[in-house]
Amino acid sequence: MEFQYVTIAVSDLEHSRAFYEDILGFKPNLASERWQSYEIEGNAGFGINEDANTKRVHCSDIINFSLLDIDSLWEKVRDHVRVEIPPQVMPWGT
């Protein structure tokens, strides 16, 4: 079994689109009034779905990315997100 698609609930679709598209560089794919999907590398898909009543719980949504240059990504995102744990080497890998 492998993941086919992951959708994350967001409270503000336009604000979230700006983050994923303008900051992370995700390419928009299909969309509807309250939902946006993105073209991503690999076999799984990714999307965001607006739910104005979404309440965040500490560490409830965790997304891990694989990339070659974490320092460049960190520079792009650190002023645009609330950081729980900054990039660091962990016992199980980086």
45 within 8 A of 76, measured Cβ to Cβ: no
For every one of its 94 residues, what pLDDT tens digit does the chain have, with 9 covering 90 and above? 877 898 999 999 999 999 999 999 999 999 999 999 998 888 888 999 999 887 777 767 777 777 888 899 899 888 888 887 888 877 876 5
Tell me the pTM.
0.78
Compute the distance between CA of residue 76 and CA of residue 61 in angstroms, rounded to an integer.
Answer: 20
76 within 8 A of 69, measured Cβ to Cβ: no
Domains assigned to the chain: 1-53+62-94 (3.10.180.10)
Looking at residue 26, what DSSP letter applies? P
